[in-house]
Amino acid sequence: MPWKNESPMEQKQRFVSLLASDRFTMVELCESFGISRKTGHKWKERYEAHGMSGLEDWSRAPKTVTGRTEEVVERLIAAEKRLHPTWGPKKIRRVLEVKHGLERLPAVSTVGEVLKRHGLVRDASGSHQTLASQAWFPPPAQTLGRRAFLCLGGPLPSPRPRL
């Protein structure tokens, strides 16, 4: 006889319907379903409050991000960078403190991340891409030429003759 596969949602629905039938106690059902009484009561309360949709898994993601940089500060960072494209995160952070009088300053790394998010960071070649977004491949062997010797510190010595 094949095993009966049941999704977690179907198990919850079956648990709640058996509990509502008053033929079983909470303890008996929790033991037969292999769950704790705390979980059984949670399913029951969610069903009573929200119906069958309350039995679905709820998101565990935080509702708010406590450490997020304020939007006003992000706009100030972007504005300063647009006014002074050559300034980096350290300089912009100092300007936020001196010129704008901010007391709670973001870290230098946070200023850099804000600049990246707003597309205001140029890499060494001058494009608007960050280094992480560019794939690096080593040059083909035939294009190395003399540079290969320079990287190694000159040509390799010839082997000594054996005596």
Q: What is the pLDDT of residue 161?
A: 67
80 and 124 inside one domain: yes
Tell me the pLDDT tens digit for each residue of 100-128.
999 899 999 999 999 999 999 876 665 55
Task: Assess if residue 12 is contained within a domain.
Answer: yes
Task: Assess if residue 37 is contained within a domain.
Answer: yes
Task: Assess if residue 156 is contained within a domain.
Answer: no
Task: Assess if residue 139 is contained within a domain.
Answer: no
117 and 89 inside one domain: yes
46 and 76 inside one domain: no
Task: Assess if residue 120 is contained within a domain.
Answer: yes
Measure Cα distances from 74 to 34, 70, 97, 108, 146 in Å.
50, 6, 14, 13, 48
* Stated pTM of the model: 0.45
Residue 161 burial (CB count, 10 A): 5
93 and 119 inside one domain: yes
Residue 94 burial (CB count, 10 A): 13
Q: What is the pLDDT of residue 19?
A: 93
Which residues constitute the domain of residue 29?
Answer: 8-55
47 and 18 inside one domain: yes
| CA-only gyration radius of the chain, Å | 32
Q: What is the pLDDT of residue 128?
A: 53
Q: What is the pLDDT of residue 48?
A: 93
Task: Assess if residue 134 is contained within a domain.
Answer: no
Q: What is the pLDDT of residue 154?
A: 55
Q: Which CATH number goes with the domain that contains 118?
A: 1.10.10
50 and 77 inside one domain: no
Task: Assess if residue 85 is contained within a domain.
Answer: yes
Task: Assess if residue 40 is contained within a domain.
Answer: yes
Q: What is the pLDDT of residue 92?
A: 96
How many distinct structural domains can be found in the chain? 2
Q: Which residues of the chain have pLDDT under 50?
A: 1, 130-132, 149-150
